[in-house]
Amino acid sequence: MRILILCHSFNSLTQRLFVELTECGHEVSVEFDIHDRVTAEAVTLFGPDLILAPFLKRAIPESIWRSLPCLILHPGIPGDRGPSALDWAILNSEVAWGVTVLQATAEMDAGPIWATAQFAMRKAAKSSLYRFEVTEAAVSAVLESIAYFPDYCSRHWQPTAQTDWPELHGQSRPALRGQEARIDWTLDDTATVLAKIRSADGAPGRIDTLFGEQVRVYNAKPYPALGAPGALLGMAAQGLVRATHDGAIWIGHARRGKNPIKRPLAQLFPECLSLSLLDASPVDPIHYEEHGPVGMLHFDVYNGALDTESCIRLREAWLMACQRPTRILILMGGHDFFCNGLDLNAIEAAESPADTSWANINAMDDLCETLMQTTDRLTLAALHGNAGAGGTFLALACDAIWARKGVILNPHYKNMGNLYGSEFWTYRLPRRMGNTRLLDRRLPLGSTEALRLGFIDRELSPADFDAQIIAQACHWADSPGFATQLSQKQLQRATDEADKPLASYRTEELKQMQRNFYGFDASYHVARAHFVNKTAHAWTPRHLARHREPGF
């Protein structure tokens, strides 16, 4: 089938559906929802059988939904309507929720239902639910809908009008903005404060007042402390600890006024530095655990963005873990993301973005170098969440890569203003794949294709990810072939080093990066500013809008 994905942006859910539908053999092309006229042009150029809208904020014009079926993926249960579906589900403490594929009609989200899928709610931020539960349910509901399509065309099947749906529990709910569901620090308990913040995290962010100023807050976790409700109890891991009436929460990030850039609170308010320093361990993104012959190093940084300081701390933690008598050391990443490379928000907010980029990439390369120089044991990158740009090549610095089935990788740099990239990709990528084609393809890579191409070594089912990783890594560490594999790796590293030292790869890559950061062509700085400021798209990139390729 020819499927045109119409979307506000190519977000993780849209990328996952793009990958799944392509994997099923469908011909998929993407158009950003920029203007009705441009959408109409895309339909004429591509001639799709149907339109799929996984992430759309505007109405599809009548001329289009009358001419071909347009399937809207709504992150709510049947009957639910409105642009803030998940936000309400979290605030209302729903225990089960769902996604619904409905056909676009004149009234928003009121069209007939093609398919729906349920999931259990988890106590997490909206964006985290969106990236996992919503995404998995969406894949199932979309594939079910697509399977009905032949019968729909031959009129043997039709979607169910909402009024005929047997259990229509959802309802129409208004848009929920940041200033609504305000936190009442004197009355709200910890669970309520968390729900209010999480229902607006990653966007738009719940509004609160800190140091006499209105801010939007993100990245909240419960923190074991007590105090007068609303009191700022201290600072931990770059964030603030604030008392509720039955406990306390830690707030990691915020943004001020109209500035769209989220920053750690300690970076945003110098006032934080006068507060007392509390124990960081309950909220530290970097932590180590050990299971027999296997060590696991987690780094659960917000949005997978690894700033200079985090690279340095992570490298130190890795070196500490290397002191332990383990045979396999696993780089775990975070729950939501494995890693997304350099912290572009920190870079954009810096006095000198060029100098900060340079410091960040050098710290990242130090980290990669340390991973590759760990030759006394085997190293494994375990990807529960997605990885992008430098974050994917960080994983490549380990001996093996195992990923959750459904992970989306973006192993390329060029979308960020033709950035050359480093992290020793010029050494690791050709060794692993035999070529560097992925860099120019610029498309998301699903775990299944990644396994087929040899970018990853193993796909694991989504349930109990950490437990599976531990069990399988322990099995590996105790396997008869382990000692041979380790000595092969040591030999390979020594041969490679003699052939061309790591330092040479690094120098060559960084020479290009220096040009990206300090040269005449400012493309990287422009692309980064658009990315962090979330500038609306003005066109769909050619690698996505295949129907706009010359000769299509």
Our CA dihedral for 138, 139, 144, 146, rounded to 10 degrees, sits at 100
Q: Looking at beta carbons only, is 217 or 400 nearer to ligand COA?
A: 217
Q: Which does 109 bind (CB under 5 to 8 A by kind): ligand COA, ligand THG, none?
A: ligand THG
Residue 264 makes contact with ligand THG by CB under 6 A: no
Helix axes 523-532, 502-518, angle to 10 degrees: 80
**Cβ 111 to ligand THG, closest distance in Å?**
5
Q: Which does 59 bind (CB under 5 to 8 A by kind): ligand COA, ligand THG, none?
A: ligand THG
Residues 6+ apart with CB under 8 A from 463: none
Specify the residue for token string 């129907």. Answer: 547
**Cβ 15 to ligand COA, closest distance in Å?**
8
The count of residues interacting with ligand THG (CB under 6 A) is: 16
Q: Looking at beta carbons only, is 113 or 381 nearer to ligand THG?
A: 113
Q: What angle do CA 144, 542, 52 make, to 5 degrees?
A: 20
Q: Looking at beta carbons only, is 13 or 233 nearer to ligand COA?
A: 13
Residue 72 bridge partners (DSSP):
53, 102
By CB under 6 A, the residues from 98 to 117 that bind ligand THG are: 104-105, 108-109, 111
Q: Looking at beta carbons only, is 345 or 374 nearer to ligand COA?
A: 345
Which SS3 state, helix, strand or coil, does residue 491 take?
helix
By CB under 6 A, the residues from 218 to 257 that bind ligand THG are: none
Residue type, position 489, single letter: K
CA-closest candidate to residue 192, choices 178, 202, 182: 182
Q: Which does 203 bind (CB under 5 to 8 A by kind): ligand COA, ligand THG, none?
A: ligand COA
**Cβ 84 to ligand THG, closest distance in Å?**
7
Helix axes 353-372, 308-321, angle to 10 degrees: 10
Site string for ligand THG, 39-58 (x = CB under 6 A): --------------x--xxx
**Cβ 228 to ligand COA, closest distance in Å?**
31
Q: Which does 275 bind (CB under 5 to 8 A by kind): ligand COA, ligand THG, none?
A: none
Q: Which does 341 bind (CB under 5 to 8 A by kind): ligand THG, ligand COA, none?
A: ligand COA
Q: Which does 522 bind (CB under 5 to 8 A by kind): ligand THG, ligand COA, none?
A: none
Q: Which does 82 bind (CB under 5 to 8 A by kind): ligand THG, ligand COA, none?
A: ligand THG
Q: Which does 384 bind (CB under 5 to 8 A by kind): ligand THG, ligand COA, none?
A: none
**Cβ 14 to ligand COA, closest distance in Å?**
8
Q: How far is CA 181 from CA 91, 123, 196, 207, 332, in A?
A: 8, 17, 6, 9, 35
Q: What angle do CA 534, 536, 539 make, to 5 degrees?
A: 130
Q: Which does 175 bind (CB under 5 to 8 A by kind): ligand COA, ligand THG, none?
A: ligand THG
- Which residue among 161, 175, 320, 467 contacts ligand THG (CB under 6 A)? 175
Cα–Cα distance for residue pair 425/152, rounded to 1 Å: 47
Q: Looking at beta carbons only, is 106 or 483 nearer to ligand THG?
A: 106
89-98 contacts at long range (C-beta below 8 A, 24 or more positions apart): 89/121, 90/121, 90/126, 90/129, 90/195, 90/198, 90/199, 91/176, 91/181, 91/195, 91/196, 91/199, 93/195, 94/121, 95/120, 95/121, 96/120, 96/121, 97/121, 97/133, 98/137
Q: Which does 65 bind (CB under 5 to 8 A by kind): ligand THG, ligand COA, none?
A: ligand THG
Q: How far is CA 416 from CA 357, 445, 498, in A?
A: 13, 17, 34
- Which residue among 7, 60, 342, 443 contacts ligand THG (CB under 6 A)? 60
Residues 6+ apart with CB under 8 A from 311: 360, 363, 364, 366, 367
List of residues contacting ligand COA (CB under 6 A):
11-12, 55-56, 75, 83, 85-86, 126-127, 130-131, 202-203, 262, 303, 305, 340-345
Q: How far is CA 213 from CA 257, 263, 271, 274, in A?
A: 9, 15, 12, 17
Per CB under 6 A, residues contacting ligand THG are: 53, 56-60, 65, 72, 82-83, 104-105, 108-109, 111, 175
